[in-house]
Amino acid sequence: MFPLHAARPGQPVAAIDTPALVLDLDAFERNLRRMAQALQGSGVRLRAHAKSHKCPEIARLQMAHGAVGICCQKVSEAAVFVVAGIRDVLITNQVVGEAKVRRLAGLATRARIGVLADDPQQVRAYAAAARAVGAELDVYVEVDVGAGRCGVAPGEPAVQLALLIAESAPLRFAGLQCYHGPAQHLRQPGERQAAIAAASALARSTRDAIVARGLPVPRITGAGTGTFVHERDSGVFDEIQAGSYIFLDADYGANQAGAGDVAFEHALFVRTAVLSHATPTRAVVDAGLKASSVDSGLPRVWNRPGLRYTKAADEHGTIAIDEGTEIALGETLMLVPGHCDPTVNLYDELVCIRGGVVEAVWPIEARGALS
């Protein structure tokens, strides 16, 4: 009896079993087009981040809308997309461990694969593994441009690592990864702009220092949904790694818009049903922590004023009901998840709807691809 499909194509939306992860195709397609338009003529290309959706069908649509390839975070995740026919994947992460690096090199025999480094040990391991299977591998130096997570310091440390990669055939020094994660979630447009101005200055000076040593820097890549207009306009970034723009979760939705920001819209929802309504001011829905990730805030109730999602337990979500608002046992709600990436990772399928009908069910093939 398990796994059950939450719905079949052709069924009405009302027939979708709950909880289910639902994609509003009209909104999703508008988001795809908005991103393509935002980059058109800028000379900056999109390499869409697939960690947000883990779904090859979506990757194919992103590429049909101009993306040059995708990003992944893990080797096992990249493998799913390579098998599905995506032939240009950048793993925006360091890969460590003999078996994992061997799998990375194996993928590079089947597709163009990029990976990050912030330590000479990684470079040596990548080179040995690539050599063993006769593969080439694009290696980017990750530079810490303000995120305070992975990455070497800007300037000379990055220069040294770039030079090491360049002399470590069959590796190719492919450029700089300059992603500023925390900047994506700064609420005020001015804060985001300032963070990316600082990141861009560090990316530029690091690039110039590498070029001054005679080594070209083929690409400077980074950015996310929250800041990409600033990287696009920086004059130094030439590739954008946005992922969440296709879905727009509640956290990104809470960012204040600034001049030039692109207005994406919510396209991803958790459909849930009321299973208990024991008091007039409280209902309980069947979507809790295992149905919607709460790390970036609780889900929001979509288009139902007077109802607020106030508490998540494993399998229960508590809904506070304002006076004068009605909701019935069994009624369904659409929730906007707080954070799309870990929410998508809870589901095996995406139920795609349009005009009140289930149009498709797309497997989330890289769900759980952690390694």
Q: Does 73 bind a copy of itself (CB under 8 A)?
A: yes
- Our CB check for a copy of itself shows the closer of 33 and 110 to be 110
Query: Which segment (36-44, 62-70, 88-96, 209-217) binds a copy of itself by CB under 8 A?
Result: 88-96
- Our CB check for a copy of itself shows the closer of 130 and 284 to be 284
Give the whole-angstrom CA distance, residue 345 versus residue 52: 8
User: Smallest gap, in angstroms, from Cβ of residue 33 to a copy of itself?
Assistant: 26
> Crossing angle for the helix pair 120-133 and 98-108, nearest 10 degrees?
50
Q: Which two tokens stand for residue 195?
A: 């963070």
Element housing 191 (H / E)? helix 189-212
DSSP character at residue 121:
H
User: Smallest gap, in angstroms, from Cβ of residue 336 to a copy of itself?
Assistant: 18
Q: Going by C-beta distance under 8 Å and a sequence separation of 6 or more, which residues neighbour residue 13?
A: 22, 353, 356, 357, 358
Q: Does 1 bind a copy of itself (CB under 8 A)?
A: yes
Q: In the window 21-50, what residues touch a copy of itself (CB under 8 A)?
A: none
* Residue of 97, 134, 235, 253 that binds a copy of itself (CB under 8 A): 97
- Our CB check for a copy of itself shows the closer of 218 and 342 to be 342
Using omega within 30 degrees of 0 as the cis cutoff, is the peptide bond preceding 170 cis? yes
User: Smallest gap, in angstroms, from Cβ of residue 106 to a copy of itself?
Assistant: 8
Q: Does 221 bind a copy of itself (CB under 8 A)?
A: no
Alpha carbon of residue 174 to chain centroid: 21
Query: Which segment (72-80, 162-170, 210-218, 299-307) binds a copy of itself by CB under 8 A?
Result: 72-80
Q: Does 249 bind a copy of itself (CB under 8 A)?
A: no
* Residue of 53, 74, 112, 180 that binds a copy of itself (CB under 8 A): 74
- Residues 41, 232: contact at Cβ < 8 Å? no
Q: Does 206 bind a copy of itself (CB under 8 A)?
A: no
- 98 φ, ψ (degrees, to nearest 5): -60, -50
Beta bridge partners of 334: 271
E strand intervals along 50-125: 69-72, 88-94, 112-117
Q: In the window 110-169, what residues touch a copy of itself (CB under 8 A)?
A: 118-119, 121-122, 142, 144, 148-153
DSSP character at residue 143:
B
Q: Does 109 bind a copy of itself (CB under 8 A)?
A: no
User: Smallest gap, in angstroms, from Cβ of residue 259 to a copy of itself?
Assistant: 28
Query: Which segment (77-85, 208-216, 228-236, 250-258) binds a copy of itself by CB under 8 A?
Result: 77-85
Q: Does 227 bind a copy of itself (CB under 8 A)?
A: no
* Residue of 31, 345, 350, 353 that binds a copy of itself (CB under 8 A): 345
User: Smallest gap, in angstroms, from Cβ of residue 26 to a copy of itself?
Assistant: 25
* Residue of 177, 223, 341, 351 that binds a copy of itself (CB under 8 A): 341
- Our CB check for a copy of itself shows the closer of 38 and 75 to be 75
Q: Going by C-beta distance under 8 Å and a sequence separation of 6 or more, which residues neighbour residue 276?
A: 283, 284, 329
Q: Does 347 bind a copy of itself (CB under 8 A)?
A: yes
- Our CB check for a copy of itself shows the closer of 267 and 312 to be 312
User: Among 64, 65, 59, which residue's Cα sits nearest to residue 39?
Assistant: 65
Give the whole-angstrom CA distance, residue 257 versus residue 172: 39
The mark string for 280-319 relative to a copy of itself (x by CB under 8 A, - otherwise) is --x-x-x--xxx-xxx----------------xxxxx-x-
Give the whole-angstrom CA distance, residue 282 versus residue 47: 44
Residues in the interface with a copy of itself (CB under 8 A) total: 78
Q: Does 238 bind a copy of itself (CB under 8 A)?
A: no
Q: Does 9 bind a copy of itself (CB under 8 A)?
A: no
DSSP string, 309-329: EEEE-SS-EEEEE-TT----T
Q: In the window 250-279, what residues touch a copy of itself (CB under 8 A)?
A: 273-278
